[in-house]
Structure 1
Amino acid sequence: MFICSLFFIYIGEQLDVEKNLKKTAVLVGNAVFYVPSIIKMTTIGGIYLLAILLPSFLAGYRDYTIGTDVLVYGNIWFHNAILSNNFWNYLEWANNSSIGVLYATFNYVVSRFTSNVHIFYFWYSFVETALVLMTLRKNRIDIVLGMSTYYFLFFNLTLNILRQSLAMIVIVWGFNYVTEKKLWKYLLIILIASGFHSTAMIAIIIYPLYWIANNREKLLNVFVLSVCILFIVFSEKLTVLALNIGMLNERYSDYLMNSNIRGGFFAHLLFCLPILILYLTAKNNIGGSRDSQRYNGFRLIVAFTTVLSGFNLKYVYLGRVTQYFDFLFLLAVPYIGNRYYVKIGRYRDTLVTKLLIYIYLITYWIIIYGVQNSGETVPYILNFN
């Protein structure tokens, strides 16, 4: 299903290259027809839509044994929405139960049209996949490589963390406001993401990290970076404090201590280390200050989340916290694959970088989701009932 979706994305991307032309050639059999650009844009939109529908269908009609959150609260809160006739009462109920208000709203809206929970999961995955695609297009990053990163690193993970996955994708979508130094807009994005999962507040650290990466004041950088690391390391104690004063529901302590969704320390090291090595060894293929700033920002974020892998040995809950930095790989991986080259002998090209990345993506999926069965999503079972 991933391969089919990537194929349609590739076709759409190739057609999109010529989007500024008034006419384009469309090959049908052995004949070439010239069609107006409006028809072409409709065709491109249809191809991208088909690419999004395929993984959404896969996620929507999964068996209830696929994805830990399905039986924990996914099915329950959708059925609660079906039985609720008053939206505000349902929202208050969800909020008191530490279910994000935007996640609850999504449930309620879908429940007005269907009582089939598979339809809810379908639309939820559709929104996630569409947001990832829109983010890649907005950042003008290699879409095929970016979507491959999403499918092989994160798709199985999204089946296990319903609320948090959409919260993290929203953060990635708003990353442009970090690079453009629009703090208030980025804070608004964090607020929206918090509507799906309250842990999205941790993403505020991304803003100073990016600033540090492009600041020459070394002493100040060390101070801010130390504060960021200490904040994350002691986030468990901050969570306990929030639990004691009633700011969080008690189930968050169990949530933070559950790190088995992606294999713990060694899995996270496998996730980070290959990309960090690329960022430290690959050479720049495209110049420009904006490009340099993004490279510095992504390199520090990749290094930061790699360092946090070491803390995972002692602080189990960090497996949940670091995911907000991990999801930025949706941009960091295709960015370096499209703009930086790896030199092998006299041969140097971004194609080598891309090949290494694809090997990394497939290897990671096989080891983590296939062999270790992290998140219990393999073998994949469909359920149409």
Structure 2
Amino acid sequence: MSFSFSLLLLCLAEKMTRRSRYVTGFIALMIPCFLAAFRAETIGTDVRAYLIPMFENAKNARGIVDFFGRSWMQLYTQRSVASIEIGFSLLVYIATKIFSSLYALQFFIQLLTIIPVWCALEKLSDYLDKRIVVVGMMVYYAMCYNYSLNLMRQYIAIGFLVLSFSYLITGNKKNYAIFQAIAFNFHYSAISGLVIYVIYEYIAGKFIPFKTDGDDYKCSKNRSILVMSVSTLAIIALPSLLNVIVNRFGEIKYIGYINGAFGLSINQIVLRLPLLVILMLSYKKLRYTYGNKWLLMPTVVVLNIIVSQLVNADGSASSSGAYRIVLYFSALLIIIIPIMYATYNTKRDLLYRVLLVGYLLVWWLYYFGFAEGSTVPYLSIWS
């Protein structure tokens, strides 16, 4: 219901003047922010793992230096504020000192997650189609919102990465670098964004210029296939490579994200394959509209499938650490799916639009509608 009302306001905003659109859009975003603010402490394991301890330390700290010197016990180990990324620590400290409320802090964490996503979509809508804002936020609500209530630091980083890629797509590399750096300071795993940047530039022929007789599309297609092939081989070889790294350098922060082995996770393939099929069915129109840049779309989807095949050491389920890396590739769907939707602009393309919306609905139902987890079912502080 909350998502529906927010999306309805965003739909109404499409037909307004720029200033009114921004005001209405901002009001629409307040709904999920308040939903995040007044959730129960049990919604999101990281709330109790580090958010509440950091909030209490910030509230009791005599100053910022004292705050960064504090620590707490987490699963029988001592964890310090200084070990948390500086961007998130500053957010906790400033919000706590101003409002002295956990609910206000949770509100601003979600606000700092969702605003960059909305700004990225608004920016791209000026170049493409106003509808991509609503569709993009639909992707965020279906695929990202529940995770953001748990993986708070990482999803703030993902929000800024989405914003950085909107600048990359429109050719502003300076702003891309700025927002990539901000993302990194909220979660160090956001360095994954540089991998996506290199892939984008490589396929588009900017990182390494083409040396052909003018057939840039064929060259981009070959590069896309090469990226997917090399990525598959790299993931297969990853466990052996990790052993070498750990033996040589010892444990490295977040290296556990890519721990495990390459296996076969059928449900991860089934969940992502429909989007790849839709891309392939409409590739002619996408190619005509976006040229060789459209090849980044199937490349990202295939990379999602490949990385999701990292399984736990016992071969069961997809590695939870690996799934955090998948989230960075999945975040690009906030941009890719709306761009696809905007391309399907004739009556004959209605089926593709229905399929995209249906795909998002099935995704949400599978992960959150009929499931139980750290954020499902949602409970408020009044429950």
TM-score interval, normalised by the smaller of the two chains: 0.7 to 0.9
Residue aligning to 1:127? 112
Instruction: Report the TM-score, using the length of structure 1 for normalisation.
Output: 0.78
- Give the drift of 1:2: 0.2
Residue aligning to 1:360? 359
- Give the drift of 1:271: 3.9
- Give the drift of 1:288: 6.2
- Give the drift of 1:161: 0.5
Aligned pairs for 1:228-377 (under 5 A) are 228=231, 238=242, 241=245, 245=249, 248=252, 252=254, 265-285=265-285, 291-312=290-311, 316=319, 317-340=321-344, 348-349=348-349, 351-373=350-372, 375-377=373-375
Residue aligning to 2:179? 189
Residue aligning to 2:141? 151
Q: Equivalents in 1 of 2:351, 2:229: separation in Å?
A: 36
Q: Secondary structure at the match of 2:98?
A: coil
Q: Equivalents in 2 of 1:12, 1:341: separation in Å?
A: 20
Q: Secondary structure at the match of 2:15?
A: helix
Q: Equivalents in 2 of 1:227, 1:168: separation in Å?
A: 25
Residue aligning to 1:27? none
In structure 1, which of residues 206, 209, 232 is the aligned counterpart of residue 199 of structure 2?
A: 209
Q: Equivalents in 1 of 2:133, 2:222: separation in Å?
A: 38
Q: Point out where structure 1 has 5 or more consecutive residues left out of the alignment.
A: 20-40, 259-263
- Give the drift of 1:239: 9.3
Q: Equivalents in 2 of 1:280, 1:287: separation in Å?
A: 11
In structure 2, which of residues 103, 110, 113 is the aligned counterpart of residue 118 of structure 1?
A: 103
Q: Answer whether contact 1:167 1:197 (CA < 8 A) is retained.
A: yes
Aligned pairs for 1:24-35 (under 5 A) are none
- Give the drift of 1:372: 2.5
Aligned pairs, number? 347
- Give the drift of 1:254: 6.4
Residue aligning to 1:76? 53
Show CA shifts across 1:257-295 (max 9, x none). 69xxxxx94553344222111111115557767x22442
Q: Equivalents in 2 of 1:217, 1:4: separation in Å?
A: 41
In structure 2, which of residues 10, 16, 32 is the aligned counterpart of residue 55 of structure 1?
A: 32
Instruction: Report the TM-score, using the length of structure 2 for normalisation.
Output: 0.79
Identity %: 25
Which moved further from structure 2: 183-192 or 234-243?
234-243
- Give the drift of 1:58: 0.4
Residue aligning to 2:214? none
- Give the drift of 1:96: 6.5
- Give the drift of 1:139: 1.2
Q: Secondary structure at the match of 2:41?
A: coil
> What amino acid is aligned across from residue 368 of structure 1 in structure 2?
Y
Q: Secondary structure at the match of 2:348?
A: strand
- Give the drift of 1:297: 1.5
> What amino acid is aligned across from residue 145 of structure 2 in structure 1?
F
> What amino acid is aligned across from residue 279 of structure 1 in structure 2?
L
Q: Equivalents in 2 of 1:80, 1:305: separation in Å?
A: 38
- CA 1:271–1:175 in 2, change beyond 3 Å: closer, same or farther? farther
Show CA shifts across 1:205-263 (max 9, x none). 102221343341777766665555566666675599479857745xx4666669xxxxx
Q: Secondary structure at the match of 2:30?
A: helix
> What amino acid is aligned across from residue 199 of structure 2 in structure 1?
L
- CA 1:284–1:380 in 2, change beyond 3 Å: closer, same or farther? same
Q: Equivalents in 2 of 1:82, 1:200: separation in Å?
A: 28
Q: Equivalents in 1 of 2:246, 2:166: separation in Å?
A: 31
What is the Cα-based RMSD across aligned positions, in Å?
3.3
In structure 1, which of residues 45, 61, 66 is the aligned counterpart of residue 22 of structure 2?
A: 45
Q: Secondary structure at the match of 2:43?
A: coil
> What amino acid is aligned across from residue 131 of structure 1 in structure 2?
P
- CA 1:368–1:287 in 2, change beyond 3 Å: closer, same or farther? closer
Aligned pairs for 1:7-18 (under 5 A) are 7-16=8-17
